C-alpha cells in the first residue's frame, strides 16, 4: 500500500454530527494523516463552529442544500447540493484541483442521522463505488437510542449487524461499541429503533418551545 493511501482518511459529517468528528480529525492530523472532510447541511443557518472544523481537517468540502457556504481557506471547496453530489463533483474536479483524491482514502468515518448514514452506505456501493478503493473501510457512529449506558443491561441500544457475505446476523450493544463497520449495519433496523423515542422527542420539543415563548429566560 502506498504512503498516500496509508495516510489519508475521510470524515463525513451531517448537521450536528459534525461536532463528533472534530476530535477524530485532530488526532489524525497530529498523527500526520491527511484529513479530507465533507461537512453536509440542509440549511445555511445549520453551519456551526466553522473554524473548529477547519482546525480538524486538511481540506473541507462544505455542502449545503440551501446555498453556498463561504470558505475561509484556499484549499477548501463549497458545493450547493447534497453531500453525495458534492463527493462526485469533488472527485471529477468540478470544484477545482485538490491534493487528496478519494481513491487515496483507506478509512472513512461517518456521523449523521440514520437516514443520512444509510444514504451514504448505499451510495458507497453504487454511484460512489468507482471512486473508492475496494479495501476502503467505512465506520459509522451508530446513534441508537440509549438508556442505561451500562453495556448490556437494558438493551435499549441494541443494533442488528448482518454479515453481507454469509448473511449471518449478530447484535451489538451500541453503548459499548458505537463505532461499527458500515458494511454490517442494518440501517432500517436502526431507523425502527429510533422511532420508539419519537413521541418523547416531539413532546419535549413542544415543551421547550412553550418555555422559550412564554417565560423570561
Ligand atoms: S443503553 Fe442500556 S445496554 Fe446499552
Residues 140-150 pLDDT 10s: 999 999 999 99
Do 90 and 163 have their domain in common? Answer: no
Closest by alpha carbon to 34, among 65, 13, 56? 56
Q: Does 149 lie in the same domain as 137?
A: no
pLDDT band at 197 (very low <50, low <70, confident <90, very high): confident
> Within this chain, do residues 136 and 199 fall inside the same structural domain, yes or no?
no
Does the pLDDT of residue 44 top 70, yes or no?
A: yes
Q: What is the pLDDT of residue 216?
A: 80
Whether 94 and 133 share a structural domain = yes
117 and 28 together in one domain: yes
- Is the separation of the CB atoms in 16 and 42 below 8 Å? no
Measured by CA distance, the residue closest to atom 3 of ligand 1 is 152
One domain for residues 104 and 188: no
The answer to whether residues 101 and 151 belong to one domain is no
Ligand 1 atom closest to the Cα of residue 174 is 4
Does the CB atom of residue 149 touch ligand 1 within 6 A?
A: yes
- H or E element that contains 189: helix 187-195
Same domain, 40 and 103: yes
Q: Which of 186, 199, 139 is nearest to 159 (CA)?
A: 186
Pair type for strands 59-64 and 8-14: unpaired
Measured in angstroms, how far is the CA atom of residue 15 from the centroid of ligand 1?
A: 25
Quick one: 66 and 17 in the same domain? yes
How many angstroms separate the alpha carbon of residue 152 from the centre of ligand 1? Answer: 5
Say yes or no: 161 and 100 in one domain: no
- Tell me the CA distances in angstroms from 69 to 22, 41, 98, 103, 166, one per residue in order: 19, 10, 18, 26, 43
Q: Please give the residue range of the domain that contains residue 110.
A: 3-141
pLDDT of residue 2 exceeding 70:
no
Q: Band the pLDDT of 1: cuts 50, 70, 90.
A: low
Range 72-77 average pLDDT: 97
Does the model's ipTM exceed the 0.85 cut? yes
Residues 104 and 43 in one domain: yes
Residue ending a domain, among 141, 161, 194, is 141
Closest ligand 1 atom number to CA of residue 155: 3
User: Do both 118 and 11 map to the same domain?
Assistant: yes
Atom of ligand 1 nearest to the CA of 148: 2
Q: What is the CATH number of the domain that holds 10?
A: 3.40.50.80
The number of distinct structural domains making up the chain is 2
Beta strands in 59-187 (DSSP E): 59-64, 77-80, 107-111, 137-141, 158-162, 169-173, 179-181
Please identify which residue in the block is written with the cell numbers 459509522: 140
Amino acid at each position: 500500500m502506498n504512503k498516500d493511501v496509508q495516510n489519508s482518511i475521510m470524515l463525513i459529517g451531517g448537521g450536528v454530527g459534525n461536532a463528533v468528528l472534530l476530535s477524530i480529525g485532530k488526532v489524525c492530523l497530529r498523527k500526520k494523516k491527511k484529513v479530507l472532510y465533507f461537512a453536509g447541511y440542509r440549511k445555511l443557518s445549520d453551519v456551526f463552529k466553522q473554524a473548529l472544523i477547519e482546525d480538524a481537517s486538511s481540506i473541507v468540502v462544505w455542502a449545503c442544500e440551501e446555498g453556498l457556504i463561504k470558505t475561509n481557506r484556499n484549499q477548501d471547496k463549497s458545493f450547493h447540493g447534497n453531500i453525495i453530489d458534492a463527493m462526485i463533483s469533488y472527485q471529477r474536479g468540478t470544484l477545482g484541483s485538490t491534493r487528496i483524491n478519494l481513491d487515496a482514502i483507506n478509512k472513512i468515518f461517518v456521523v449523521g442521522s440514520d437516514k443520512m448514514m444509510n444514504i451514504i452506505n448505499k451510495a458507497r456501493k453504487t454511484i460512489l463505488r468507482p471512486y473508492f478503493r475496494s479495501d476502503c473501510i467505512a465506520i459509522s457512529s451508530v446513534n441508537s437510542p440509549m438508556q442505561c449506558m451500562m453495556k448490556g443491561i437494558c438493551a435499549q441500544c441494541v443494533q442488528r449487524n448482518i454479515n453481507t457475505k454469509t448473511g449471518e446476523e449478530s447484535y451489538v450493544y451500541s453503548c459499548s461499541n458505537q463505532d461499527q463497520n458500515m458494511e454490517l449495519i442494518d440501517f432500517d433496523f436502526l431507523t425502527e429503533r429510533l422511532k420508539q423515542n419519537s413521541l418523547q422527542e416531539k413532546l419535549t420539543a413542544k415543551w421547550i418551545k412553550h418555555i422559550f415563548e412564554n417565560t423570561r429566560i
